[in-house]
Structure 1
Amino acid sequence: MLLNANDVTVRYAGRLALEAFSLDLGPGEIVALIGPNGSGKSTALHTLSGLTIPNAGDVTLDGRPVRTWKRRQLARRLSFLPQAPLSPEGMTVEQLVRHGRFAHIGLLGAYSAQDREAVDWALESTDLGGLAGRDLRALSGGERQRAWIAAALAQEAGILLLDEPTSFLDIGHQVEVLELLCRLRRERQVTVVVAIHDLNQAMAVADRVVLLAKGRTLFSGAADDLAESGLIETTFAVNGAFERPRGQARAVYFNAHITT
């Protein structure tokens, strides 16, 4: 496997944040992490990225513990976009995206034609070409989120870890980001792990869905199997049903029944 978490447990100030979390990731698949607030989704991503050292268990990349990788080497393989990152003052969109190339630039800091091509591709893929010269602080929340996604793409890592990447985006750009992830999986064999709140989006794009609650893994498998398990209803304490639109083979959609 490419990236592997084996029985990872994380505690913060004595509080259990993640318990015996395991996940094997191969090239070219999308895994969605879902669950209520505080379920451990962000902790799982931080641990997979090597930013959080687990109290028990380990995370390995190509069989080697992630915590032993040098940051520049790891950045060439793995890109992590946290939830609501802080935007540096006085930085433009293009400057932020260029920072995504830091792992590829040599000791002399030379910026190559390949770096320029990667930045242009990332800006174009996130529909930000026209905003490249704008100050990050002058952007809307959705535009700023797309800028951070572009910076992650410019890194050209084979593994993308994304924490709520569609937050703050309007529905049109949410769809564009999800389609982009599917295209990266299909055309570049990029592996994606995404924490996401929208159940419909998770079920539509993910090859596997992992359902977390209170730090524990309740389910890991195909979206169709999760839809039939009844765990969505009990975990989120809602009444509802999954429906498959006519002509669609994979996507299943959850319709909650709201009593008024």
Structure 2
Amino acid sequence: MPLSCSQLSVFYGRRKALSGFRLSMEKGEIRALIGPNGSGKSTALQALAGLIKPAEGSAAIEDVSVASMSRRAIARKLAFLPQQPSAPDEMTIAQLVRQGRFSHVGLFRSYDGRDEKAIEWALDSTGLTSLADRALRELSGGERQRAWISAALAQEAGILLLDEPTSFLDIGYQVEILDLIHRLSREKGVTIVMAIHDINQAIAVSDRISLLERGELRFDGEPRALAESGLIEKTFRVKGRFVEVDPDKPPHFDVELTRLARPGA
């Protein structure tokens, strides 16, 4: 298994932020983590990446415990992209992506042909080759997010963890990023775990979904099974229904919106 974990539990002080979380992934699989705010999605990603030491349980990359691996060894296998990564605005896309090779190059080795090929592949895979010399400050939201994903790919990591990759983006850029994620999985064999708020986006792009609530895993399975479970309405405390548009595709969730009366009306 490229990525797995069992019984992962994380505490922040006395608060249990994640309890008994588990997953097991195949190469090239897309897994979406969904749930209300504070449900443990980001915590799960950080525990999988070895950025948080779990109080209980363990995560493994290719059956090797993450806790036993150095940060550099983890970076060669797994790339983690947080919600709002930052870099100097004057940095170019090419410079940012070159930083993604640091786990391979280190402090004492210069870039060689393999490094340059990895950088070229990362830029090409994200459609940024023609924009490589453009500064980050000149990029649209979607282009900037693609640049960060490109930097993660330059690590040549087979596992990509994404924390809310479509947040703060206009709908067009959201579709662009989701399409990229799907292509990386299907064409490049990258295993992807992403925390995401939009239920319909999760259903549309993922192979399996993990639903979290208050740190507990409430569901782990295929999108259609989630649609049939009734858990979305219960967990998010909304009224709605799943609508079947195409029998060959998962249904989408249609939330029932009610007009709120004005004060004094």
TM-score, L = length of structure 1:
0.92
Q: What's the CA shift string for 1:3-43, capped at 9, x where partnerless?
A: 22111110112111101111112212111000111110000
Q: What's the CA shift string for 1:28-71, capped at 9, x where partnerless?
A: 21110001111100000000000110011111223322021122
Runs of 5+ unmatched residues, structure 1: none
Q: What are the residue-to-residue correspondences of 1:107-186 with 2, within 5 Å?
A: 108-186=108-186
Using a 3 Å threshold, how does the CA distance of structure 1 residues 138 and 180 change in structure 2: closer, same or farther?
closer
Runs of 5+ unmatched residues, structure 2: 260-265
| Paired AA for residue 257 in structure 2 | I
Aligned position for 2:222: 222
Using a 3 Å threshold, how does the CA distance of structure 1 residues 62 and 89 change in structure 2: closer, same or farther?
same
Distance 1:145 1:87 in 2: 12
Q: What are the residue-to-residue correspondences of 1:59-70 with 2, within 5 Å?
A: 59-70=59-70
Using a 3 Å threshold, how does the CA distance of structure 1 residues 172 and 73 change in structure 2: closer, same or farther?
same
Tell me whether 120-129 or 147-156 shows the greater mean CA deviation.
120-129
Aligned position for 1:251: 250
Distance 2:227 2:146 in 1: 30
Distance 1:115 1:125 in 2: 15
| Paired AA for residue 109 in structure 2 | G
| Paired AA for residue 41 in structure 2 | K
Identity %: 56
Aligned position for 2:74: 74
Shift of 1:107: 6.3
Q: Is the 8 A contact 1:4 1:22 kept in 2?
A: yes
Task: Work out the number of aligned pairs and report it.
Answer: 259
Distance 1:234 1:182 in 2: 29
Q: Over the residues paired in the alignment, what is the CA RMSD in angstroms?
A: 1.9
Tell me whether 169-178 or 147-156 shows the greater mean CA deviation.
169-178
Aligned position for 1:91: 91
Shift of 1:120: 2.7
Q: Is the 8 A contact 2:141 2:173 kept in 1?
A: no
Q: Is the 8 A contact 1:29 1:185 kept in 2?
A: yes
Q: Is the 8 A contact 2:30 2:207 kept in 1?
A: yes
